[in-house]
Structure 1
Amino acid sequence: MPASTTAGAPATLQAQLDARPVSALQWRVIGLCWLVNALDGFDLLAISFAAPAIASAWQLDPQTLGLVFSSGLLGMTAGSLVLGPAADRIGRRRMILLATTVLGASTLATAAATDVTQLVVLRACTGVAIGALLPSLNTLVAEYAPDRRRNLAISFMHLGYPVGGMAGGFLAAQLIPAAGWPALFVAGGLFTLAVVPILLLCLPESLHYLLRSGRADSPAAAHLAGRLGLDLTAATAHAAPTPATPVREVLRGRWLAPGLALWACFFLGNLTLYFVLNWTPTVLVEAGLPQAQAIRAGLLLNLGGGLGMLTLGYLSARWSMHGMMSAFFVVGGALVMALGQLSQVAGVLFACTVLAGFFSLGALIGLYSLAARLYPDTRRATGVGLAIGAGRFGAIAGPYAGGLLIALGWPMGHYFALLALPLLAAAVIVWRVRPPAGRD
């Protein structure tokens, strides 16, 4: 039975979702978005696991390798800034289907790259697809989750990223010694393309989007409302139309200050995190660890991050999200500094790697929850997309700066310490990420 709006019952779509138990359809949406995000992690981080073999085969110096790392992140920036906001126009489902197809095709084509130029171009295409995916995945999960579960649902969805990264590491350890580095990208591309038909059949559009785009009377909207037990007539009456220029709405007056604070946190968190994610296996090999142990350290970094983001999402129902994220950023920065001092002590190194991932990646994923809550659904994909895009400039700068510092011959502890400082700055700025007064 649809939820009634009489006798004080909730009328808005989100209020009705908040008042009902989480349905099987909602869990399916969250699970499919988790799966796509796992493919993101696999396809993007595969280059970090393949990098030592590529560098050896092609005789690449650290600066060139840094450019390869950054090309994917540059593509992610373009995808987030240009295609992310487009999901408020064409729909979250369409963007996810399109971007997943491009992601699989570009990853598969990476296996056929024969020089650095081809590798850079293909990694940039992979990045564009991932940049387009993340705002839509984040928004779709936020719009299907009840308020009481939203932080945990978003955290769970983003857990797919490190799980995909770990899967890439496990496969890299098996495939690269046996079949060479291209085999890793063949596996990633085929897995991703195989998921597209599943999404086409099983992933629904956001009901928020259907209402705002004037399609409340469509069969798809009626079917979704029935599955969720919602009163579509009452929800339609309370639905706000999408602004004609959602980008301008996000950047105007009272939204600008908290938006800039959010952008700064994304930039700083990504700068440190992507330096650590991309360079940890390579610098540990150069420091004398066997390649298998260096890859294991990369796996543990992602494992710790997954545990951290779930913990933060669970605890946010009880404690202040801002306070926990600030603490996570501070502890994460201290552990990244420590990580640069422990390259020859394997047991301590692995424990520190897990904890560094737990706090630094956990805090960064918390920003996605803050972003989803900062903006209303009429401009949520736009706001999240622009914030992610701003953060990608940090993700580009981190690996490239790491390559420059390594090429200068700096001791490992020095550049790890320097590139951990942005996390401490983010710990302060995150307190400014709050909805403005008079939110519409």
Structure 2
Amino acid sequence: MSFFNLGKRDADGRQARIEHRGRYLRASRTGGVALRAQTKAAGVNFTGNTAQGIRVSATPVKDTQVALQNGRFILRGRYGRGPTKLNLSKTGLTASTRNKLGTFNWIKPNRSSAKIAGVQVRGRNAVILQSIYFGFAAIGMLLRAAVTGLRILMQLLAWLAGVIQWAIRQTPPALKSVKRTIRNKWLRRRQKRLDPSLFRALGEASNDELKSMVWLIFTQWGLGKSVNQDASKNDGDDPQESQRSSTLLRAVERDSTDGDWHLAFLAGIAHEISTRLDSQNRAEILLDIDETLLASESRTVLQERMLEVYADFAGLRLQVDAPSDTIAEGPVRPERSTTAVGATPIDLNTASVEELQDLPHIGPERAEDLVRLRPIQGLEDLRQIDGVGPARLREIDEYGVAT
């Protein structure tokens, strides 16, 4: 059946037009059966057909053909690349687009064509078939556009949900950060209302006096008390330094009567400490205060605010710590080394400086101070080391030591 192109596919993969086109024989549904012969001379084609007569044609320019069909003038031209082309004829110019069904003429639809199962139709029937094809193609495009739009919408909703979730997570910390920034700016303005000589005295105070002031501010002002001669002192503080510190703080009390003056002065002390001590020593001061407040089991709201103010102005950072069921905010504590049950305790009198540094809160400087205290008769001797109080002494004892 290949004689009539049955089973043969065209360039678009469809059934080719059912016809026979031989050298001398033509047979098709619309043209019938005819004999033909063709020859060419001097660039002119001569064709004889028993059904259509004599035809003389030539190609003066590319894609353009002029011919005489039984004395009738014919002009044909197709220009352009791709599915859409420009058509030239005696009656004028038209534009047509080739699709999977056939060719549709946009200027003169009746000149369209369509092919179904190898049967090609023209004219009105082709227009109807092309219209149906365009209708289904439009529906397909709308469905694809709807699916694409729905996919984009789902992606947009997922992105928006992620943004909302991120915003929800970021809002509380961001609001807290904004509040603390506003508070710190207000404290700086409040410092300008205090006597400038008080801050000059801070610049002349020693590091130990600054530490003593911080201790007194937390333990006295933090509880709503005034600093007096009998105020409790840190175990490691020198009595004379504590006396000078309490004198300066009482001068601050006399100069200030309203507002958060205690926070403003604490901010000034923390800033002065930040210019003198490294981050480790600044953090040690905060950890000492925090341990004392935890041991007292009566931390006030004002003391909580003081912790934040000291950390901000001393250049430290507080982070949320959730050790068990409760979440509390406090200074970041260094991880404590632990000893397995049954391990050999550290002998305070014979251990090296490096071994002593494994003890809780015992760094290089305190390890050297501990070596200078030898021989050590008991744990209470460690109270002579600067920064070692009752709370830290208990942790050292729990770690496991021998004397």
**Band the TM-score falls in, shorter-chain normalisation:** under 0.3
Relative to the length of structure 1, the TM-score reads 0.19
Structure in which a larger fraction of residues adopt helix: 1
Task: Flag the structure with more relative contact order, 1 or 2, with Cα contacts below 8 A and sequence separation at least 6.
Answer: 1
Higher CA-based Rg: 2
